[in-house]
Amino acid sequence: MPAKDMEQIVNLAKRRGFVFPSAEIYGGFRSSYDYGPLGALMLRNVKEAWIRAVVQQRNDVVLIDSAILNPPQTFEASGHLANFSDPLVDCTTCKRRFREDQLESRDCPQKMKGCSFTDARAFNLMFKTHAGPVEGSGTEVYLRPETAQGMFVNFASVLATSRKKPPFGIAQVGKSFRNEITPGNFIFRTREFEQMELEFFVPPAESPQWYDYWKTQRLEWYVSHGVPRDMLRLREHENNELSHYSAGTCDIEFLFPWGWGELEGIAQRTDYDLTQHAKHSGQRLDYFDSATNERYVPYVVEPAAGVNRVMAAFLLAAYDEDVVNDEPRTVLRLHPRIAPYQIAVLPLSKKDTLTPLAQQVFGMLSSRYMCDFDETQAIGRRYRRQDEIGTPCCVTIDFDSLNDASVTVRDRDTTAQDRVKIESLLAYFSDRLGF
Question: What integer pLDDT is reported at residue 113 of this predicted model?
Answer: 61
Task: Identify the helix (H) or strand (E) that includes residue 9.
Answer: helix 6-16
Question: What integer pLDDT is reported at residue 344 of this predicted model?
Answer: 98
- The answer to whether 252 touches 234, Cβ cutoff 8 Å, is yes
Question: What integer pLDDT is reported at residue 76 of this predicted model?
Answer: 87
Of 172, 125, 167, nearest in space to 153 by CA = 172
* Residue 225 CB neighbour total at 10 angstroms: 20
Identify the architecture of domain 341-433 in CATH: 3-Layer(aba) Sandwich (3.40)
- Mean of the per-residue pLDDT values of the chain: 90
Of 149, 175, 128, 171, nearest in space to 306 by CA = 175
- The answer to whether 155 touches 274, Cβ cutoff 8 Å, is yes
Cis status, amide bond into 167, omega within 30 of 0: yes
- The answer to whether 176 touches 144, Cβ cutoff 8 Å, is yes
User: Residues 151, 155, 159, 161: what is their CA dihedral angle, to the nearest 10 degrees?
Assistant: -70
The residue type of 352 is: D
- The answer to whether 319 touches 332, Cβ cutoff 8 Å, is yes
How does pLDDT run along the chain (435 residues), one tens digit per residue? 677 788 889 999 999 999 998 998 988 887 789 999 999 999 999 999 999 999 999 999 999 999 999 888 898 888 888 766 566 677 777 766 666 666 655 556 555 566 777 766 666 788 888 888 777 667 888 899 999 999 999 999 999 999 899 999 999 999 999 887 767 788 888 889 999 999 999 999 999 999 999 999 999 999 999 999 999 999 999 988 887 778 889 999 999 999 999 999 999 999 999 999 999 999 999 999 998 999 999 999 999 999 999 999 999 999 999 998 888 999 999 999 999 999 999 999 887 789 999 999 999 999 999 999 999 889 999 999 999 999 999 999 999 999 999 999 999 999 999 999 999 999 999 999 999
The residue type of 86 is: D
**CB-based contacts of 214-222 (< 8 A; 24+ apart in sequence):** 214/266, 214/301, 214/303, 215/250, 215/252, 215/266, 217/303, 218/252, 218/264, 218/266, 218/303, 218/305, 219/252, 221/49, 221/50, 221/53, 222/252, 222/254, 222/263, 222/313
Of 270, 233, 232, 265, nearest in space to 249 by CA = 265
Burial (CB count within 10 angstroms: exposed 0-12, middle 13-18, buried 19+), residue 352: exposed
What is the rounded distance in angstroms from the CA atom of residue 382 to the CA atom of residue 337?
A: 21
Question: Max CA-CA distance within the chain?
Answer: 80
- The answer to whether 304 touches 267, Cβ cutoff 8 Å, is yes
Please give the CATH topology (third level) of the domain spanning 6-84+125-315. Answer: BirA Bifunctional Protein; domain 2 (3.30.930)
Structural domain boundaries in the chain = 6-84+125-315, 341-433
Q: What are the residue ranges of helices labelled H in 163-306?
A: 207-224, 272-281
CA 263 remoteness from chain centre: 9
Report the phi/psi class of residue 126: left, alpha or beta, with left for phi > 0 and alpha for psi in -120 to 50.
beta
Report the side by side order of strands in the sheet with 140-143.
Answer: 69-70, 140-143, 127-130
Which tens digit of pLDDT belongs to each residue from 391-421? Answer: 999 999 999 999 999 999 999 999 999 999 9
The residue type of 358 is: A
* 344-to-243, 339, 364, 402, 421 alpha-carbon distances in Å: 47, 12, 13, 19, 16
Question: What integer pLDDT is reported at residue 3 of this predicted model?
Answer: 72
What is the rounded distance in angstroms from the CA atom of residue 362 to the CA atom of residue 351?
A: 16
